[in-house]
Amino acid sequence: MVRAEASADRLLAGSGPWLQRFGHLLHMPSHLFVRLGRYADAAAANVAALAADRALSDACQAPYEPEHNAQMLVWAANMAGQARARAAWMGLGPQCPQAGRGWRACMAARDSRPGDVRS
């Protein structure tokens, strides 16, 4: 687990023009971060992933599953108590063509965390 976490941290901190083309790769550390309770880092990874997805879309290329990145971002921000970040990104999901059932489940649970900081 230590090596996996170190690799996830390197991806989260990574930069460079080559990495910015791979939104799904930028998103992947968030899966480990949520298992470790690092919800703010999971949200940050998905912010970076969605920025890469947007850049790809702007270049008329199709990003890989941006709706999943958006869902994970909203969920992680909620778990981290980042009410403003969650609210800012909630509107993105319905714009993703394949948001469907997963997005609805994410939205149904969005206010379920006890002690959520309302800021």
* Residue range(s) defining the domain that contains residue 11: 2-108
Residue 115 forms part of a structural domain: no
Q: Is 33 helix (H, G, I), strand (E, B) or coil?
A: helix
Residue 119 forms part of a structural domain: no
The CATH number covering residue 48 comes to: 1.25.40
Q: How deeply is 26 buried, as exposed, middle or buried, from its count of CB atoms within 10 A (0-12, 13-18, 19+)?
A: buried
Query: Is residue 119's pLDDT more than 60?
Result: no
Residue 82 forms part of a structural domain: yes
Residue 99 forms part of a structural domain: yes
Residue 47 forms part of a structural domain: yes
Which pLDDT tens digit goes with each residue over 2-11?
Answer: 789 998 998 8
Residue 116 forms part of a structural domain: no
Q: Between these two residues, 15 and 78, which has the higher pLDDT value?
A: 78
What does the pLDDT read at residue 97? 44
Which pLDDT tens digit goes with each residue over 89-112?
Answer: 776 554 554 444 444 444 444 444
Residue 25 forms part of a structural domain: yes
Q: Domain count of the chain?
A: 1
Of 79, 99, 68, nearest in space to 35 by CA: 79
Assess contact for 42 and 76: CB atoms under 8 A.
yes
pTM: 0.73
Residue 118 forms part of a structural domain: no
